Amino acid sequence: MPTLANITVKKNDGVTDIVWTGVVPSSGDSSPAVWRSQTVGTAPGHQPQLTLKSRYNGPKTARRLDGDATFPSLVLGSDGKTSIADRLTFNFSAGVPQGMSTTDINEAVSQICNLVAATLIKDSIKTGFAPT
């Protein structure tokens, strides 16, 4: 079982590192682990956030992992207060069969995560359109 840790990712420029700080570990099934990009905003509610929770499916033949990422767009009002103008959301869900070999699970997870990180998929999400 993984242990909560900070996650370092590249910003859109492909050069600058951003650390997503592990702020809340999962306390068990259906309890989310939480990471925040604490370099954005001064209030926790203004910071990009990722949550990941896991649980068994009904017959306990698979583990279900659900992730939710939110990235707010902050604006400074004329009164000097920062508020959220909009929020990008990204949700994912994975069903990991408990009867599948570890080798096959590892390969599937690596390839699928690398597909989501592929330039074509990132560009599609950035523009809001599937490739034509």
The domain spans of the chain are 7-98, 100-132
Provide the 10 A C-beta neighbour count for residue 71.
Answer: 15
The tens digit of pLDDT for each residue in 6-49 reads 999 999 999 999 999 999 999 999 999 999 999 988 899 999 99
Residue 64 phi/psi, 5-degree rounding, is -105, 125
Residue 105 pLDDT greater than 90, yes or no: yes
pLDDT at residue 5, rounded to an integer: 97
**Average pLDDT value for residue range 58-83:** 95
Which residues are CB-neighbours of 117 under 8 A, at least 6 positions away? none
pLDDT at residue 76, rounded to an integer: 93
Nearest to 22 by CA among 47, 2, 4: 4
Residue 1 pLDDT greater than 90, yes or no: no
Q: Is the pTM of this model over 0.75?
A: yes
pLDDT at residue 40, rounded to an integer: 86
Topology classification of domain 7-98: MS2 Viral Coat Protein (3.30.380)
